[in-house]
Every structure is written in structure tokens, then in C-alpha cells.
Amino acid sequence: MILLLGSSLALAASLDNLEMAGMWGSPAATDGAAVWWNPAGLAMGEGTRILIEGAPTFAVVDIQRADPHGGSDQVRMQGVVPFAGMATDLGVKGLGLGLGVGAPYLRGGEQTPEGGPVRYHLRQGQIMAAAIMAGGGYSYKDKVALGGGVQILRSSWQAKLDKELMPDLADEIKALGEEPGYTDADLEDPAYATTLDFEPLSAWGLTASLGLRVQPDPKIGLAFAWISGAKLTHTGGVDLSFSCPPQSDLLGRFGAESRGLCDARMKGDAAITYALPSRIHGSVQLKPTETLTVEAMGGLVFWGAHDLYEIEITGIAAAQPELPEDTVELIERPQTWARDNQASPWVALDVKGSIKERLLLGARVMHDRAAVPDEVLLANNYDANDTVLSGLVAGRPARRIELGLSWSHHFLAERVVGDSAFSMAVEPEERPDEAYNWPHGNGSYRGAIDRVGLSARFAL
């Protein structure tokens, strides 16, 4: 297995990774996890606290795509999701500073085998926004703490998928006064497909966070945080591999050849723009005994901001100066791909208790509602109502070191889509709005994710 960071299906609604820092992460966190979850928590601890986690994650989604052009397909991925965070008071009481790296936004997968029915949505892809986080907070008498942070996002967007050429070809043929003779049943013929292979496009972004931590009583803690969203424009290269209509399709073949598209390989520049949401989350933490901690938490992620992929391909003429101008125009025509996410709430209950001085056990149940409506669900937009059961065992081999092992299983609710907003048609008047003019996503989707968290916490 090649160890790739962030190579995983979404761990929560849409692109979200709600399991930042695994079971150590929560709005009430005061260790290195606080740098993401709530910078006010940075000021609620003493000394220097370091958290490192690597989480091998195994995900699979089985898709039974409905006709037309249906069939069984599977998207799989495995990888390691990382997190590292540090909090310190620098010896100043009430002060808290933190640094961290993590991947708060993740999605990825690979068709197994490649070329199945969902190839027009996803052959292989990986979206990951890695964040370098810094934050600080200050507490007043350990009762109230305020914190703030910034996250420098280094976002990467990579995808390989097929694009249907037949409707464009049909338009060209009709423009010549000829009848192409295609029907919708002919769509998704591999001979009319273009494989787009976006190199990892990259973008820089900046988000900020604010946090509040209230500890009115040693047994009760309240936490609230807000993290801003960002709009990212990813840029990089794209390779285009065109198929070639069969010779029996005289007009199509001629059209493709005369446009320089037949079996052509091209390079270009690509830009993918989309928005990441802002979010709020909070928790109530109870410590009924010295050894037991119960935290009820929840949040709302404003995924409504993630409504669209804006796709631009440029630089075709520069890389392929021999191409006809109208071919360049065709390829460089800006496109959009609807995401139509909706705000997604989540809730969780986390319980941790020390059995012995050096042994800690924890459990968490979390429910995260899907942010992607049925109508726009695709293999590359997979999301589901997610119930996560997690367990944690942590031990202290030394006084300042705690090693943890966690396991989470995501019970992803089956989704059945029968009214996909996406559709394609040969006849222009039957085509939907451009953002939905992509192969349909009707079918059933079933998935499961297993996550193993290996963590180490240091208290210096």
C-alpha cells in the first residue's frame, strides 16, 4: 500500500472530516486538538501538550447505477489520515498558544476496476485541504477563555473522470445541417468519451476561527467555536485523452477528426473553484467524577456555500497550437457542475473514563446528516447520513506519554436516488441547465468506513 495522506472517502458530510484528531478532538479539547476545534481550549491547559495521530482508514462504496447505462460499480480507498497539534502556555498562566497540521476536508476514491458505469463521475480522485493551524487564547482564572486562530489551507484537487463528447458532436453536426442520428441510448459510449485527468490542482486559502470556553465549575464546561469558510480556486494542469467515434459513424468520425480530437492527447491548464463552508460547533462537558468525562457536542456546517464546481480549462491553444480555433473554444468552454450542498448538523456524545491510573477507555457515538441532497448525489459527491460508533483505549506507558488506539465504524445509510437532477441528452432542448448536464446519478449507494486511530499524546 502506498501511504497517501488524506486518501479516503469523506469521513463526514460532503468533504468534511469531522474526526479531526480522532476521539481526542472535540469543542472542549484543551490539548493539541484545540488548535482546530476551539482555540480557546489552548488556554485551558498547562504546560505543553502534543497530540499526534495517524488514522489508517478503509472505505468502500458500492454503487448500483440505474439504467440507462447502469450497472454495478465500486469505489474504494485506503490511506492514512494525519493530525498533529501542539498547545503550550509558554509558562504564562492563562496563556495558550497552539500549532497544528491536519486535513479538515477530505474526499477521495478510486474505481475498482476502472472504467465502470460511474466513470463519468469518478475514475479516481482525491480532494484534500490540508491546514497549517495556529491559534492562541487566554483564560481568565480558568473560568473563561477566549481564543482565536488562523488556518492556512493548502488545498489539492485531483480527479480523473470521463466527459461525454457526443452531445457536442451532435451539435456540430446539426450546425452543418446534417442529422447525426444519435439517440440518448448511444450516450456514454466509450468511443465518444474524453478522459480528463486533472493533475493535483492546488490552492491556498485562509480561514480563521474564534472560540469560547467557559468553565463555571470544575465539573461543567461549555465550549463554542466558529470557523470561517473560504473560496478556493485550484489551478494546475490537465491532460485530456479523446476517444474516436467509430468509422461507421461517418459524420461523427469526420467531425472528431476534423476538430483534431480523434485519439488526441492534449495538455491544458485547469482551474476549479468552489467554496468551503463556515461552521459552528459547541459542547457541554461534564465531569461527574474525577475519572469520568462526558461531552455532548454538536455543530452545524454551512455546506450550502458549496454549491458549484466552476471548471475552467485554458491554455489549450498554447500547448497545441495546431488545433483549430473552434476546437479550442469547444474545449475551453467554461463549465459548472452542481454540488447543491445543504447545511449539515451533527451531534455526538463522547464518554471517557479512566479505569486505572494509566488506562483510559472511551466511546463516542456521533450522527452526521448528509449535506448532499438525493438529486445531486453522484459517486464523486458521495455523502450519506452517517452514524459513527467509536471506541478508544489509551494507556500511559510513562507519566508524560499516553498512547491511544481507537476504532471507528461509520454506518452509512443506504441512499437510493431515483430523481437525479443530472441528465444528458442528444437533443439540446432536452438538456438540463448546464450545471446539471452531466450523466445521471440514479441508483443506490451503500458504503462503510472503518478508521483506526493510532495516537500519541505528550504532556511536557
- Contact residues for another protein, defined by CB under 8 A: 3-6, 52-54, 80, 82-84, 101, 128, 130, 154, 156, 158, 176-177, 197, 199-200, 202, 236-237, 239, 244, 246-247, 250-251, 253-254, 257-260, 262-263, 265-267, 324
Residues 6+ apart with CB under 8 A from 250: none
CA distance 253 to 258: 8
Q: How far is the CB of 265 from another protein (least distance, A)?
A: 4
The least distance separating another protein from the CB of residue 306, rounded to whole angstroms, comes to: 22
Minimum CB distance to another protein, residue 417 (Å): 32
Q: State the Cα angle at 123 between 329 and 415, rounded to 5°.
A: 110
* Distance of closest approach, residue 260 Cβ to another protein, in angstroms: 6
Q: How far apart are CA 59 and CA 40, in angstroms?
A: 33
Q: Which of 85, 161, 82 is nearest to 128 (CA)?
A: 82
Q: Which of 266, 412 has the CB closer to another protein?
A: 266
Q: Is 3 helix (H, G, I), strand (E, B) or coil?
A: coil
- Asked if 30 and 352 touch (Cβ cutoff 8 Å), the reply is no
Give the whole-angstrom CA distance, residue 120 versus residue 189.
11
- Rounded to a whole number of angstroms, the minimum distance from the CB of residue 237 to another protein is 8
Q: Please identify, using beta-carbon distances, which residue of 54 and 137 lies nearer to another protein.
A: 54
Q: Which is nearer to another protein, 186 or 239 (CB)?
A: 239
Residue 75 burial by Cβ neighbours in a 10 Å radius (0-12, 13-18, 19+) = buried
- Minimum CB distance to another protein smaller for 143 or for 265: 265
> DSSP for 321-358?
TTS-HHHHHHHT--EEEE-----EEEEEEEEEEEEETT
Taking the least distance from each CB to another protein, the nearer of 351 and 405 is 405
Instruction: For another protein, give the closer residue by CB, 203 or 214.
Output: 203
The three cell numbers of residue 455 are 495516537
Nearer to another protein, 54 or 282 (CB): 54
Q: How far is the CB of 240 from another protein (least distance, A)?
A: 8
Supply the minimum distance, in Å, between the C-beta of residue 370 and another protein: 27
Task: Specify burial of residue 326 (Cβ count, 10 A radius: 0-12, 13-18, 19+).
Answer: exposed
In the bound complex, what is the minimum distance in angstroms from residue 167's beta carbon to another protein?
20
Q: Count CA within 13 A, CB hemisphere, residue 193.
A: 22
Q: 283 or 320: whose CB is closer to another protein?
A: 320
Neighbour-count burial for 87-117, b at 16+ CB within 10 Å, e otherwise: bbbeeeeeebbbbbbbbbbbbbbbbeeeebb
Q: Return the amino acid letter for 452.
A: V
